[in-house]
Structure 1
Amino acid sequence: MTHRLHLRRILLAAGAALPLASALAASEDAAMLKLASSSGCMSCHHVERGAKGPDGLPPVGPAWRDVSAKYRGQPEAEARLTATVMSGSNPYDSHWKGQASGLAMPPNRVAISEADARRLVHWIVGLERGR
């Protein structure tokens, strides 16, 4: 097989895989949004920045794309964020001041399992801007 023919087959296979990859990503997005909704996460958080609550204030919690941008590439970020989801956060250590109206996240152990929280945090940290 010539190099050119081999390259053409690779490119055709990659092109055929793009719709499948897109469908898988959309399926994962839908699954994670369903998990977040059923666990109560969407009561305080939105995926996109700029969403306002009924009182016109920023959402109680930070937008997940902002969380993704802040923590992407940081070692142990997913473990730290999963621990925060499960145990809550300190109201005196609010690092989202001015971006969210809430001071702290309550513990969520009764709303979501640690395994599901880990999956959701992994998805959040992996969000790309504009996706």
Structure 2
Amino acid sequence: MKRHTLLLASALLATTAWAGPADDAAAIQLATNAGCMTCHHIEPGAKGPGGLAPIGPAWRDVAAKYKSVKGAQQQLTATVMAGSSPYESHWKGKVSGLSMPPNKVAITEVDAAKLVSWILALEPASKPL
């Protein structure tokens, strides 16, 4: 059932994805309302505790990391919904947070897919993590 829901969200995304900068305000509002901006920023910023980046990776860094990864849209949408494990953190040593909590109470899967689509469309940072 879960896979079916993700496939449905992906199909809906194909018709509702945000195209780019014109949709920045809508994406930022969605991210703010869902609480994403508490841990993530768009631009890489100042270092946090221990010289590490803020809690979560900057979204331009995420865009750079996943730019050519097949299935990144579905993978990241699933991570937003279910959260991530601190034992499998691929940002370990680069951010101060090691896991992301599940967000299914804060955002719908369709909206998460739209937000992930917008993040992946961002131009990578000039100096990624």
- The bucket for the TM-score relative to the shorter chain is 0.7 to 0.9
Aligned to 1:97: 92
The 3-state SS of whatever aligns with 1:46 is coil
Query: Is 1:80–2:61 an aligned residue pair?
Result: no
> Taking every aligned residue pair, what percent have the same amino acid on both sides?
60
Structure 1: stretches of 5+ with no match in the other structure = 1-23
Aligned to 2:32: 37
Aligned residue type for 1:89: S
The 3-state SS of whatever aligns with 2:42 is coil
Give structure 1 regions of 4+ aligned residues with deviation exceeding 2 angstroms. Answer: 24-27, 50-58
TM superposition shift of 1:54:
8.8
Aligned residue type for 1:103: L
Q: 1:56 to 1:108 in 2, by over 3 A?
A: same
Instruction: Write the deviation string for residues 79-118 of structure 1: whole angstroms up to 9, x where unpaired.
Output: 0000000000011011112221101000000000000000
Q: 1:30 to 1:93 in 2, by over 3 A?
A: same
CA–CA distance in structure 1, aligned partners of residues 26 and 46 of structure 2: 21
CA–CA distance in structure 2, aligned partners of residues 124 and 75 of structure 1: 15
- Structure 2 matches for 1:11-90, cutoff 5 A? 25-52=20-47, 58-90=53-85
Aligned to 1:121: 116
Structure 2: stretches of 5+ with no match in the other structure = 1-18
Select the structure with the greater relative contact order (CA < 8 A; seq sep ≥ 6). 2
- Measured on the aligned residues, the alpha-carbon RMSD in Å equals 2.2
Aligned to 1:17: none
Q: 1:32 to 1:54 in 2, by over 3 A?
A: farther
Aligned residue type for 1:94: S
Q: 1:100 to 1:130 in 2, by over 3 A?
A: closer
TM-score (norm 2): 0.75
TM superposition shift of 1:51:
3.5
The 3-state SS of whatever aligns with 1:115 is helix
TM superposition shift of 1:59:
1.3
CA–CA distance in structure 2, aligned partners of residues 36 and 116 of structure 1: 9
Contact in 1 for aligned 2:39/2:54 (Cα 8 Å)? yes
